[in-house]
Amino acid sequence: MIAYLGRIVHDNDAESKLDDDVSSISKSLDLQGSIENGDVSSLASKDFGGLYSVKPLFLIKPSGAEDISRVVKLASRTSNLTVAARGNGHSINGQAMAEGGLVIDMCSTEKNHFEFLPINGSHYIDVSGGALWEDVLTRCVSRYGYAPRSWTDYLSLTVGGTLSNAGVSGQAFRYGPQTSNVTELEVVTGKGEITVCSETLNSELFFGVLGGLGQFGIITRARIKLQQAPDMVRWIRVVYSEFEEFTRDAEFLVTQKEGESFDYVEGFVFCNNDDPFNGWPSVPLDPGHEFNPTHISQTAGSVLYCLEVAFHYRNSDHSTVDTAVNGLLGRLRFVEGLKSQVDVSYTKFLLRVNRAEEQVKANGTWDGPHPWLNLFVSKSDVFNFDRTVFKTMLKDGVGGPMLIYPLLRSKWDDRTSVVLPEGEIFYIVALLRFVPNGPSVEKSVAQNREIVNWCIKAGLDFKLYLPHYQSKEDWERHFGNRWSRFVERKASFDPMAILAPGQNIFRRDPSNIIISREF
């Protein structure tokens, strides 16, 4: 069979036979799951970004780790096959694709694990790597009244997909990213070995895989820390005309002790005009709320800033919420009169972007291309970034949210594969472009490149989040003094460079020597 696979990878004439042969390959692999022919129109050749499309050889729907191990071992016996785990395909730049390779649909393993674990007074959930965070939320809260502590804004993402990056939202200032909230993983390495790892067991693999861009193993199970879920959330937006006051208040909130601040802190930049997607109408939390621009000073610039916060409470605490929230708001310097607030259930709050997805899908924008750019920018450079990028390059908006909020480096574990700017406080910047509402795809891609090039040229202390680079030099610069550790981890856990080829960091080499990809 290996000879057969080697042949079809090289021989296009054999493609017509693929459909017939899929079932014989499936049989010889003895998979509990199934195999489908890789088709350009299949989900394996697409992602949310909509900028790249490559044709895989097969799409595998495994039933669990054993199947995945068999697939990786099979690839390792060929000279050129690669394997990409595909979470929910919400990458932007083809990171979950494998040209001519084997794509593993992790969502088909979703139902395999779901185990609530009370251990020594703490609570955890064991879930499969292909589980969607929205299912983890609804099952944990409805069955047990518990929930993970650290989230992403949008929950139709897989556990393995976000743990391979970091997983960041407005809770990360307190609990760190999702990678700081797992205690054990089961991983299929690039050698096809099924390995359980944690801080104390196979720790190099554990920390390598967290933020490892899928390079060292496929996460088939994760143990996630839980906390008691609140019943309700007071969700509030306030507006600033000055970046200095916005950052002062955001940094104040993220550096307070637990119990003395909000439970969620984010922020975004919007245009100082009435554009429905980029301007004032993007602020109110409820269609019944109005944005009254007469509150904005005449001297305000082309962009304004919105601080978004949330306060958790239980139904029984309802009477004390006003006092606690007003006490916190009283310490902030937002523009008087520009506040929007609603009370929603905890699950409704966490599913807020999923609800927005339904609305955006209705007008067809969701399925178009998304040339998104995400960065971490050090506090020391964030004013320069605001002046040059937000106030100048992006003063007309990007056709979608432009997020910016502070995070604390001390909440991230340096042993993981994630790389961050220096300094304790840094900002996540997310340019979430929806093309029909903003510049064209070409212009957006060019603008993203211009922003990154400017950051490099101006010597900013920054890193790309969900990075996408084209050359070895760029990847080396991205990882900086962590590059050698990244390469060593690759040599240990995926020496033939089989895994996650769509990240374009390493290329599969028939001689089994790891070579950074040169384009």
Strands (E), 478-518: 506-507, 515-516
236 φ/ψ angles, rounded to the nearest 5 degrees: -135, 140
Between 219 and 248, how does the x/- string for binding to ligand FAD read (CB under 6 A)?
Answer: x-----------------------------
Q: Which is nearer to ligand FAD, 314 or 361 (CB)?
A: 361
Strand, coil or helix: what is 136? helix
Note whether 500 binds ligand FAD by CB under 6 A: yes
Q: Which stretch binds ligand FAD (CB under 6 A): 81-89, 308-316, 472-480, 490-498?
A: 81-89
Q: Is 153 a catalytic residue?
A: yes
Q: How far is the CB of 275 from ligand FAD (least distance, A)?
A: 21
Note whether 404 binds ligand FAD by CB under 6 A: no
Note whether 64 binds ligand FAD by CB under 6 A: no
Q: Which stretch binds ligand FAD (CB under 6 A): 82-90, 199-207, 476-484, 507-515?
A: 82-90
Buried b (16+ CB within 10 A) or exposed e, 423-452: eebbbbbbbbbbbebbbebeebbebbeebb
499 half-sphere exposure, CB direction, 13 A CA radius: 29
Note whether 91 binds ligand FAD by CB under 6 A: yes
Note whether 90 binds ligand FAD by CB under 6 A: yes
Q: Which of 166, 238, 239, 431: binder of ligand FAD (CB under 6 A)?
A: 166
Among candidate residues 266, 308, 381, 474, the one labeled active-site is 266
DSSP result, 9-24: HH-GGGGGGHHHHHHH
Q: How far is the CB of 499 from ligand FAD (least distance, A)?
A: 7
Note whether 62 binds ligand FAD by CB under 6 A: no
Note whether 157 binds ligand FAD by CB under 6 A: yes
71 half-sphere exposure, CB direction, 13 A CA radius: 33
Q: How far is the CB of 153 from ligand FAD (least distance, A)?
A: 3
Give the pair of three-digit tokens for residue 192.
């096809």
Q: Which stretch binds ligand FAD (CB under 6 A): 70-78, 163-171, 313-321, 393-401?
A: 163-171
Q: 329 to each of 147, 169, 317, 334, 467, how far by Cα in Å?
A: 27, 21, 18, 9, 36
Residue 322 burial (10 A CB sphere; 0-12, 13-18, 19+): exposed
Paired strand residues for 341: 236
Distance CA 365, CA 361 (A): 6
With contacts defined by CB under 6 A, how many residues of the chain interact with ligand FAD?
35
Note whether 190 binds ligand FAD by CB under 6 A: no
**Catalytic positions:** 90, 153, 266
Q: Given the rule CB under 6 A, which residues bind ligand FAD?
A: 48, 84-91, 95-96, 106, 129, 152-154, 157-158, 160-162, 164-169, 213-214, 218-219, 466, 500, 502-503
